[in-house]
Chain A
Amino acid sequence: MKGALLVVLATAAIAAAPLVASTYHVLLMLPFMAYAVVLLGLNLLLGYTGLVSFGHALFIGLGAYAGAFLTTHAQIRSLEVILVSAAALGALVAVPVAALCVRYVKIYFGMLTLAFGMVFYTFVLKFYRLTGGDEGLPFLRPSLLGHSLDAMPKIDYLVGPYYYYSLGVLALAALGMWRIVHSPFGLCLKTIRDNPTKAETLGIGVTRHRFYAFVISAAYAAVGGALLGPPTGNVDPTLAYWTHSGNIVFMTLLGGFTNFFGPVVGAFVFIYLQNWVMSIVPYWRLIFGAMLALIVIFAPEGLMGLVARRRRASAARA
């Protein structure tokens, strides 16, 4: 009950942010919401199924490039169409990738997803006639719910309609993921994570369930990737680079993969912390690397894990 109240309060705070916060900080919320969608999907694989993917930037890139391609080459500007096609394309590409990857676990799974991610990165980088190479593709301003907003100044568009559209997509994505992880299917995934042998004995198709989880998480990543496009107005191959896959795994660890909202919190803290650290020192990777090491050693369940630990401790005292 208390959790639901917190979620409602957090959503209300995000919705009220454009009214009170500076435009600069509101603009930073846009990548946060896009990454939150990506991470909800990634965590179905990482937190609930126990498979660490180092190649999810493939699907982020795929979604972003799908949107850029549709707006520039196909003259399709409706964001609804873009998001649905991104999800469909992400799931479609994930089918062969997942079919090969879910045969393995742990480091082999990670290496294979990494290799597929880099294949896509190289494809985007080298086949410039289709993808624009390292210059990328422009992501023209999409229309929202059938309204073309081309006449609006860019900042007004981003902190106004686009902001609330992203929030709506994030809310829908979170609702959908909540239903998935609390369904019998989600329980099967948790059983597989905790004990694959037992899951198989109970009659759960381990490989099949891992496959479905992979495909769903890929569709989520593609939708999040498509949402990343409009704020910058351009997509480039670094979206699909392996360090980007690493970043999203870092966000998940930072927020805590054992909690449903952990990755969302992780994305928020990552974006604002990165922005803050970058404004002070140019060596933000050094600081973030040290932070990652500290999290893994002292708080393996991330920020939400720390909150839960404190709550347990205070409950024990009472």
Chain B
Amino acid sequence: MRGAFVGALAVGILRSIAISVYPELEMLLIYLIVIAVLVVRPRGLFGGAEA
């Protein structure tokens, strides 16, 4: 629950920032976030050790 909420908020805000700063980046950003999360924290921000 908490994860989905924070994730949605983070992606939404980052996209809005991208639109105002560098519009070409807006579509790209969402995939860059996915890559960053999968590479750095594959279980997500709040994911713990494997159950």
- Are chains A and B native binding partners rather than an unrelated pairing? yes
Shortest C-beta distance, A251 to chain B (Å), equals: 24
Given contacts A118-B31, A119-B32, A122-B31, contact A127 B24 (CB under 8 A): yes
Closest to B39 in A: A100
Q: How far is the CA of A112 from the CA of B28 in the complex (A)?
A: 14
Instruction: Report yes or no: B42 in contact with A108, Cβ–Cβ below 8 A.
Output: yes
Contact residues in B for A108 (Cβ distance below 8 Å)? 38, 42
Count of B interface residues, CB-CB < 8 Å = 10
The distance in angstroms between the C-alpha atoms of A259 and B35, with both chains bound, is: 32
Most B CB atoms within 10 A — which of A104, A111, A115? A115
Residue B27 lies at the interface, judged by CB distance under 8 Å to chain A: yes
Report chain B residues within 8 Å CB of A115. 31-32, 34-35, 38
Instruction: Name B1-51 residues within 8 Å CB distance of A.
Output: 24, 27-28, 31-32, 34-35, 38-39, 42
CA distance A122 to B32 in the complex (A): 11
Cα–Cα, bound, A126→B32 (Å): 15
- A115-B35, A116-B35 are contacts. A125–B42 as well, Cβ < 8 Å? no
Instruction: Scan residues 56-113 of chain A and give those whose CB is less than 8 A from a CB of chain B.
Output: 100, 104, 108, 111-112
The answer to whether A276 has its CB under 8 Å from any CB of chain B is no
Count of residues in A whose CB is under 8 Å from the partner chain: 14
The residue from B28, B34, B42 contacting A104, defined by CB atoms under 8 A apart: B42
Tell me the smallest distance from the CB of A213 to a CB of chain B, in Å: 20
Q: Is the CB of B35 within 8 A of A119?
A: yes
Query: What secondary structure prevails in chain B residues at the interface with A?
Result: helix
Q: In the complex, A111→B28 CA distance in Å?
A: 15
| Cα of A112 to Cα of B41 in the assembled complex, Å | 12
A112 lies within 8 A of B31 (CB):
no
Closest CB in chain A relative to B27 CB, distance in Å: 5
Confirm or deny: A178 has a beta carbon within 8 angstroms of a beta carbon on chain B. no
Q: Closest CB-CB distance, A109 to chain B, in whole Å?
A: 9
Whether A123 is near chain B, meaning CB under 8 Å from some CB there, is yes
Shortest distance from the beta carbon of B18 to any chain A beta carbon, whole Å: 11
* Min distance, Cβ A288 to any Cβ of chain B, angstroms: 26
A112 vs B34: C-alpha distance when bound (angstroms): 8
Q: Is A125 a contact of B27 with CB atoms below 8 Å? A: yes
- Assess the A126–B24 pair: CB atoms within 8 A: yes
Residues of A close to B27: CB separation below 8 A: 122, 125-126
**Residue among B24, B27, B31, B39 facing the most chain A CB atoms (10 A cut-off):** B31
Apart from the given pairs A115-B31, A115-B32, 12 other A-B contacts in the complex at a CB distance below 8 Å: A100-B39, A108-B38, A111-B38, A112-B38, A115-B34, A118-B31, A119-B31, A119-B32, A122-B28, A122-B31, A125-B27, A126-B28
Can you report 15 A-B residue pairs in the complex whose CB atoms are below 8 A from each other?
A: A100-B35, A104-B38, A108-B38, A111-B38, A112-B35, A112-B38, A112-B39, A115-B31, A115-B34, A115-B38, A118-B31, A119-B28, A122-B31, A125-B27, A127-B24
Q: Which residues of A contact B (CB under 8 A)?
A: 100, 104, 108, 111-112, 115-116, 118-119, 122-123, 125-127
